[in-house]
Amino acid sequence: MTPSLNADLHCHSVVSDGTLTPEALAQRARSNGVELWALTDHDEVGGQQRAAAAALALGLPYLTGVEISVTFIGQTIHIVGLGFDPEHPALKRGLERTRGGRSQRAIEMSQDLARVGIHGAYDGALKYAGNHALISRTHFARFLVESGVCRETNDVFRKYLTEGKPGYVEHRWAGLKDAVNWIRDAGGVAVIAHPARYKFSATEEFALFSEFSKHGGQAVEVVTGSHTAAEYVNYAAMATEFGLAASRGSDFHSPDESHTDLGTLPPLPEHLTPVWELLTGRIQTVQ
Residues within the interface to Mn ion (CB under 5 A) = 17, 67, 78, 193, 251
Residues in contact with ligand AMP, counted by CB under 6 A, come to a total of 10
Nearer to ligand AMP, 249 or 269 (CB): 249
The three-class DSSP label of residue 35 is: coil
Binding mask 142-181 for ligand AMP (x = CB under 6 A): -----------xx--x------------------------
The dihedral built from the CA positions of residue 22, 154, 173 and 78, taken in this order, carries a sign that is positive
Instruction: Provide the minimum distance between the beta carbon of 259 and ligand AMP in the complex, in angstroms, as a whole number.
Output: 10
Dihedrals phi, psi of 41, to nearest 5 degrees: -65, 150
Shortest distance in whole angstroms from residue 59 CB to Mn ion: 25
Secondary structure letter of residue 274 according to DSSP: B
- Does the footprint of ligand AMP cover residue 250 (CB under 6 A)? no
Closest approach of Cβ 249 to Mn ion, in Å? 8
Which residues partner with 76 through β-bridges?
Answer: 71
Q: Which does 154 bind (CB under 5 to 8 A by kind): Mn ion, ligand AMP, none?
A: ligand AMP
* Smallest distance from ligand AMP to CB 17, Å: 5
Neighbours of 261 (CB within 10 A): 17
17 vs 220, which CB is nearer to ligand AMP? 17
Which alpha helices (DSSP H) does the chain contain, by range? 22-31, 48-57, 89-100, 102-115, 121-126, 137-146, 153-159, 176-185, 202-214, 229-242
Q: Does 137 bind ligand AMP (CB under 6 A)?
A: yes
Comparison of 209 and 252: residue with beta carbon closer to ligand AMP: 252
Report the C-alpha gap between 184 and 45 in whole angstroms: 15
Among residues 28, 42, 184, 248, the one that binds ligand AMP under rule CB under 6 A: 42
Output 225 or 274, the one with its CB closest to ligand AMP.
225
Q: Which SS3 state, helix, strand or coil, does residue 160 take?
A: coil
Which one of residues 27, 48, 98, 138 is an interface residue with ligand AMP (CB under 6 A)? 138
Cα 76 from Cα 198, distance rounded (Å): 8
Instruction: CB nearer to ligand AMP: give 173 or 212.
Output: 173
Min dist CB 141 to ligand AMP, Å, is: 7
User: What is the closest distance, in whole angstroms, from the C-beta atom of residue 165 to ligand AMP in the complex?
Assistant: 11
Radius of gyration, CA atoms only, the chain = 18
Beta bridge partners of 221: 247
Burial of 254 (0-12, 13-18, 19+ CB in 10 A): middle
**Pairing of β 219-224 and β 75-82:** unpaired
Q: How far is the CB of 79 from ligand AMP (least distance, A)?
A: 13
Contact set with ligand AMP (CB under 6 A): 17, 42, 69, 136-138, 153-154, 157, 253
